[in-house]
Structure 1
Amino acid sequence: MSLPSPNLDDRRFQQFVDDAKRYIQQRAPEWTDHNVSDPGVTLVETVAHMADQIVYRLNRVPDKNHLAFLDLVGITLFPPSAARTDVTFWLSAPQEETVAVPVGTEVATTRTERDEAVVFATERGLDIVPTALSHLVVQRQGGPVTDRTTELAEGKDLLCFSEAPEPGDCMLIGLTAAAPHCALALELDSRVDGVGVDPRQPPLSWEAWTEDGWQPCEVDRDGTGGLNRPGDIVLHLPEGHVLSRNGGHEAGWVRCRVTEPLSGQPFYTTSPTIRSAEAYTVGGTTRAVHAETVRDEALGESTGLPGQRLRLAHTPVVADSPPVLLQTATHEGWHDWEVVPHFASSRPDDPHITLDGATGEVAFGPSVRESDGTLRQYGAVPPKGAVIRARRYRTGGGRSGNVARHAVKVLRTSIPYVGEVVNREAARGGVDGETVEEAKLRAPITLRAQERAVTLRDYEELARRAAPETARITCLEGEEGEHGAYAVRVLVVPQAVPDPGGRLRF
């Protein structure tokens, strides 16, 4: 990295020439020919050129010294943070077999004439599990459940709730299989009986049974207008959706619960009814990060000497687990190396390396001479001639990943039966890498605080180091507590990305 430094002498070539000519008029007034053709002026210009070169080199001395000082105290530039968002994979049609979306599946925004595509990769695998409706039961205000599965199969009209619905009434739908992270479509044939409500804002809450109890489901769309007309309801099931037993039946349960009406919200006067119902999965959602995955990148061969440094071809490196998987090849096969923040606690046989995420530099452990003259090795050294490769790492990050919702819609990795991909919420958390100017401001604070918070600014710096994706952090002095100890308040403003039009969605 390079540090801008103050000019110790800001004069340039022409200024040296002009100053010399003014001195000539004072010291040698008999010299009247100051044209370029004069041999004396040629000599003046030659000396001015050499002086200009000396000043240029002199001004670079603080730059080099500042870099060396930051290196001695262990100050390195923070790499950029990667934005993350939930990406939904929609199936082209319901499937009878599980559709697997592997880890590292790449999706991207649309490439335009001015902007390159922003690539995201899934952080975990997703299984879009097929499921179907197996049971339908009704529960009134937390009382015993009544099985209506047989009546539904006979095509009878069933009341979803009590004849006069009250908050707490539930209609429970049992699925043949649990479908965590999946998008569930409910195809309901409803009659216009549940009158009195606003179809755009019915007093209903859709929930799914998880390991932690009933959890809310996100309603993607409701074509029934609050169970008042035939249509489809698409729900996004939570992460912990599991099979459970209810009313003597084991199933993956989803329920529609009548809630307390809000102020001015219309309520049901009569219960809606359904004549038929079907359920099937139409997609799934998983987490994606703004990064591209690089695999099996050759870095060269080992010299067998301590402190060897190699550089990755793609930078910056996004924080991952592990951030980079380095391997060396020997006659016994490939061996993995672990990324550590430093070599202070590394033993001579520990396969440890350090990684500078901003520059992509990988370093093996050094050999340090102790006070008694012996050499101590920090971290293992790969044998001479061993082939070194980066098995896997991710590169990307920055503010460019903070894309708006519905911007990610290109599937770069082909997956059978997946017809569409979209991010339903804006991507957040992308922060550009630290600049040299910011590192210059951080260095004195780091040296003063040393991972301890004493002043208000120390608290701000430690909080910013823990969450670099925040927009603003301010520490305010608190009041004295009951035991005489003072407390501080750290105010954090998270980074938010406005939707097109300049509005924030809450």
Structure 2
Amino acid sequence: MTLPTPRLDDRTFQELVDEAKRNLQLRCPEWTNHNVSDPGITLIETFAWMTDILLYRVNRVPDRLYVKFLELVGVRLFPPHAARTEISFRLSSHHDDVVHIPAGTVVSTRRSVSQESLGFSTLHGLDIPPAASRTVLTISADGDSADRTGVLGLGDGFPAFSPTPVVDDALYLGLDQPARSSLLLVQAVCSLGGYGIDPRRPPLVWEAWTPSGWEPCEVERDDTLGLNVSGAIELHVPDGHDESVVAGVEAAWIRCRVVKAPRQYRSSPLLVSVTAATIGGDVEATNAEQVHDEALGISDGTAGQVLHLAYAPVVVDREDPLVLEVGVPPEDGIGPPTWEEWTAVEDFGASAPTDRHVVVDPTTGEIRFGPSVRLEDGSERRFGAIPARGAALRVRGYRTGGGARGNVAARTVSVLRSSIPYVAAVYNRRAAAGGVDGEDVDNARTRGPLELRGRGRAVTVEDYVAVVHEAAPELARVHCVPVTDGPDAGSVRILAIPGAPGQDGRISLRDLQLPDGARERVLGALDVTRVVGVRLSVEPPSYVGIRVDARVRARPEADPSQVERDALAALYRYFHPLAGGPDGTGWPLGRPVQPGEVHGVLGRVAGLDYVEDVVLFRANPLDRSISAPQDRVDLGDTHVVLSVEHSIVVQGGAG
């Protein structure tokens, strides 16, 4: 049982007024007019109001003392974490020269009457290469290849795949150079011939060759309805795109491959012409703005100096930490100073008197130099060096921003703050994720006793989870799984899922990969807190793709198209690794998927009368290929479901 913490004085303003009026009857009985219009009552209410303010401040004393105690034992507020997203820079047209997007380029959301714009800065530079196609091949699943380059634009066209396409038939486009992190425009002139497919979900996947094998390209739009009508296809090429040799031809290859789907091609689509060229590129950005070369003032030469950055909070970036520079004047006093680097550390516990260390509080932007502590024998020991008196102090650069408000929806980051030649538009094609607000005092008060109980050691499952959340707050879901048998017995697996809201409940496997540097930060934090001899691994859970095909009956008055949209949204929400499952906190590890659950989810959709049929499939999250129909989809102990694609056929309704 917890000890009750009494309030020092819990009287309210009205109680103070009533108490004063009661005392009037005892101490001043001739005062009989107690109406609010009486000037004396006005004075009583004024003093009651002032007393109420005083009581509020007195009652805050225990909270202040508690916060100070937390500071003494080393509990500090967690700083905010900045959201990240990928920004696409679209060019006005294909350009013959490399277009360079500098690191630190700022893009933002649009400002409105009720909301300020949010800035995102690119984390590194981007070069958009002038890549274009020069070779077109068709290769069947059996390995038979044909060079179609010479017949482009001639006759009635050529078959993109085998006469009756089978899985792994492919159309190859060879580029004259790699198109790493680029937006590729594929323009196809087609003759109708690819019968049998669902044109909204063609059984095709686009892939790019990388040193680690074929990786999928994200399709932003496809106007060709499965290569059946002339139109454009826009692909986002992965960063590792490289050259290779296919059928004796060296090029940077992109391919369109046939995969398994419920509705397959009965005949091959015919292509008259197909070309590809880069029209943009993608680069990662964070919800923070860069501050360069900020002057902090002059050192006074004393220990424990405290400086404050102009902008707070500071986004913590362990890959690019904040660096303080101290200007050391030349010995002859002539010329510019020599700038020495001082690095930020967690605390001064291990700092020697000559170590150029500072401690940075990301929440407040406070920079503190090491203290000087008096020892028992009367001597003093310095923890960290002290800049000389009169030395100039500056910060080379840091990023400020962050918070949950940076988790903006897709295509809302659309304003380029500076002009870049040939760039016509910018946008984020996926929602930004990973933004976390800074910790408040109430949460720190709750966390403080837990940290004291753990004493900086990871022993229990709860200890491991707490350490991981502290080291990487952008991880939305963390599980600690001890391995008790097999060759890895005695080890601990940390299964982590980053915050990635997705769009309308839809989320891709790429969004669920661990953020850059998160694994290293978690391993580093656990390495100093784990029990000696425990082996650690940090990885995402195994994602099992799930596809649901359902046939439902709508109510007579319902709009079938609306019922379809609502039913699909319900399925994507329920089979979601972060927001799905029975309790809405993410699909439980190892929980199987059964048709009965699908009936329950669809049965709650407004306008839906009943579910006629449900079919479950395992689906590959990479290429969207599916298995044979399943009675139920079983999951391993470290597996989580991921919606790959669902299909709803609505019958009946007002249409």
Q: TM-score, normalised by structure 2?
A: 0.68
Amino acid in structure 1 at the alignment position of 2:227: L
Map 1:195-274; keep pairs closer than 5 Å: 195-260=195-260, 262-263=261-262, 265=263, 267-274=264-271
User: Counterpart of 2:210 in structure 1: which amino acid?
Assistant: T
Give 2:388's aligned residue.
383
Rounded Cα–Cα distance in structure 1 between residues aligned with 2:307 and 2:282 = 38
Paired with 2:133 and 2:187, the residues of 1 have a C-alpha distance of 10
After superposition, the Cα gap between the structure-2 partners of 1:13 and 1:87, relative to the gap in structure 1 and judged at 3 Å, is: closer
Structure 1 residues 46 and 131: alpha-carbon distance in aligned structure 2, compared to 1, 3 A threshold: closer
The alignment partner of 1:71 has SS state of helix
Decide which moves more: 219-228 or 109-118: 219-228
Q: Deviations over 1:262-302 (max 9, x none)?
A: 23x2x222222323232210111111111111122221111
1:402 aligns with 2:402: no
Cα separation, partners in 2 of 1:379 and 1:158, compared to 1, 3 Å: same
The answer to whether the 8 Å contact 1:181/1:238 transfers is yes
1:170-206 deviation per Cα after TM superposition (whole angstroms, max 9, x unaligned): 1211100101110111122222222232322221111
Return the offset for 1:449. Answer: 0.5
Specify which of 439, 442, 446 is matched with residue 451 of structure 2: 446
More off after superposition, 181-190 vs 489-498: 489-498
Equivalent residue for 1:150? 150
Match of 1:314 in 2: 311
Q: Secondary structure at the match of 1:62?
A: helix
Structure 2 counterpart of 1:141? 141
Aligned in 2, Cα 1:488/1:8: closer, same or farther, shift over 3 Å? farther
Go from structure 1 to structure 2 and tell me whether the alpha carbon gap of 1:62 and 1:232 turns closer, same or farther (over 3 Å shift).
same
AA of the residue aligned to 2:432: A
1:322: Cα distance to partner? Answer: 2.5
| Shift in alpha-carbon separation, 1:349–1:36, aligned structure 2, 3 A | farther
Question: CA, structure 1 residues 256+32, in 2 after alignment: closer, same or farther (shift >3 Å)?
Answer: closer
Does 1:412 pair with 2:410? Answer: no
* In the alignment, structure 1 residue 363 sits paired with structure 2 residue 339: no
SS of equivalent to 1:346: coil
Which of 432, 447, 453 lines up with 1:427 in the alignment? 432
Shift of 1:404: 0.8
Matched residue of 1:274: which SS?
strand
Q: CA deviation at 1:355?
A: 0.8
Q: Indicate the residue corresponding to 1:104 in structure 2.
A: 104
Q: What does 1:189-200 align with in structure 2 at a 5 Å threshold?
A: 189-200=189-200
Q: What is the 5 A alignment of 1:258-297?
A: 258-260=258-260, 262-263=261-262, 265=263, 267-297=264-294
Among 323, 326, 331, which residue is 1:325 paired with? 323
* Alpha-carbon offset, residue 467 of structure 1: 3.7
Q: Which residue in the other structure is 2:557 paired with?
A: none
Kept after mapping to 2: 8 A contact 1:322/1:339: no
What displacement does 1:109 show?
A: 0.8
1:396-454 CA distance string (max 9 Å, x none): 11111111111111111221111001111111111111001001001111111123244
Identity %: 46
- Structure 2 residue 363 is matched with structure 1 residue 347: no
**Change in CA separation of 1:143 and 1:57 when aligned onto 2, cut-off 3 Å:** closer
Does the Cα contact within 8 Å between 1:186 and 1:277 map onto a contact in 2? yes
Structure 2 matches for 1:3-152, cutoff 5 A?
7-11=7-11, 19=19, 32-34=29-31, 58-152=58-152
CA 1:174–1:488: 2 relative to 1, 3 Å: closer
Task: Give 1:335 deviation, angstroms.
Answer: 2.3
* 8 Å CA contact 1:21, 1:34 repeated in 2: no
Query: How big is the shift at 1:333?
Result: 2.4
Q: Is the 8 A contact 1:473 1:490 kept in 2?
A: yes
Name the count of aligned residue pairs: 492
Q: Residue deviations 1:45-68, cap 9 Å, x none?
A: 999999878756643432342232
Can you give the 5+ residue segments of structure 1 that lack an aligned partner in the other structure? none
Residues 294 and 57 from structure 1, CA distance in 2 versus in 1: closer, same or farther, beyond 3 angstroms?
same
Q: Which amino acid aligns with 1:172?
A: Y
Larger displacement relative to structure 2 (203-212 or 331-340): 331-340
CA pair 136-390 structure 1, distance change in 2 beyond 3 A: same
Return closer, same or farther for 1:148/1:369 CA change in 2, 3 Å cut-off. same
Q: Is the 8 A contact 2:465 2:480 kept in 1?
A: yes
TM score, norm. by length of structure 1: 0.86
Larger Rg: 1
Q: Which moved more, 1:112-121 or 1:495-504?
A: 495-504
- How far did 1:498 drift? 6.8
Residues 56, 164 of structure 1: alpha-carbon distance in 2 compared, 3 angstrom cutoff: closer
Q: Unpaired segments of 5 or more residues in structure 2?
A: 35-40, 330-336, 505-564, 574-642, 644-655
Q: Deviations over 1:12-45 (max 9, x none)?
A: 788567657756867x7xx6334799xxx9x999
CA distance in 2, matches of 1:24, 1:273: 100
CA distance in 2 between partners of 1:133 and 1:486 (Å): 53
The letter of the residue matching 1:286 is V
RCO (CA 8 Å, sep 6+): is it higher in 1 or 2?
Answer: 1
Structure 1 residue 378: Cα displacement: 2.0
CA apart distance, 1:480? 7.4
Find the residue that maps to 1:68 and give its secondary structure.
Answer: helix
Mapped to 2, the partners of 1:201 and 1:19 lie a distance apart of: 76
Q: Distance in 2 between matches of 1:193 and 1:498?
A: 35
1:102, 1:49 → 2: CA distance?
58
Q: Mean alpha-carbon deviation: is it higher for 338-347 or for 439-448? A: 338-347
Counterpart of 1:166 in structure 2 is 166
Instruction: Specify the alignment match of 2:602 in structure 1.
Output: none
**Cα RMSD (Å) of the superposition?**
3.5
2:467 match: 462
Give the aligned residue type for 1:322: D
Structure 1 residues 384, 96: CA separation in 2 closer, same or farther (over 3 Å shift)? same
Paired position in structure 1 for 2:188: 188
Tell me by how many angstroms 1:100 deviates. 1.0
Choose 352-361 or 448-457, whichever is displaced more. 448-457
Displacement after TM superposition at 1:486 (Å): 9.8
SS at 1:197 equivalent: coil
1:465-480 to 2 correspondences below 5 Å: 465-470=470-475
Q: Distance between the aligned counterparts of 1:50 and 1:85, measured in 2?
A: 50
Q: Which amino acid aligns with 1:324?
A: L
Q: Tell me, in whole angstroms, the C-alpha distance in 2 between the residues paired with 1:255 and 1:475.
A: 40
Against the structure 1 CA distance between its residues 475 and 272, is the aligned structure 2 distance closer, same or farther, given a 3 Å change threshold?
A: closer
C-alpha distance in 2 between matches for 1:47 and 1:407: 52
